[in-house]
Amino acid sequence: EVHKRVGDKARIIWGAAIDPDYEGKINVLIVATGVRSKQILGKITEEEIKKRQGVDIIK
């Protein structure tokens, strides 16, 4: 399902482990990088993104 919702260039790495203590439950962790969506970042400039994330954006 994740493949259907992300772009064609998305690289998805996944793994699994069994923990008997979960007793029929699962724990899901998604790490998304390179997101430039306004829904997530809001209407901010590239300069503000650099300040917030503490990274250099290289094109």
Q: How far apart are CA 26 and CA 7, in angstroms?
A: 26
In angstroms, the CA 58 to CA 20 distance is 44
Confirm if 41 and 49 have CB atoms less than 8 A apart: yes
Q: Cα separation of 27 and 22, whole Å?
A: 8
Whether the CB-CB separation of 3 and 12 falls below 8 Å is answered with yes
What predicted TM-score, i.e. pTM, was given to this entire model? 0.38
Which pLDDT does position 49 carry in this prediction? 73
Q: What is the pLDDT of residues 4-59, one digit of tens each?
A: 777 777 788 888 888 899 888 888 887 877 776 666 656 777 777 777 777 676 66
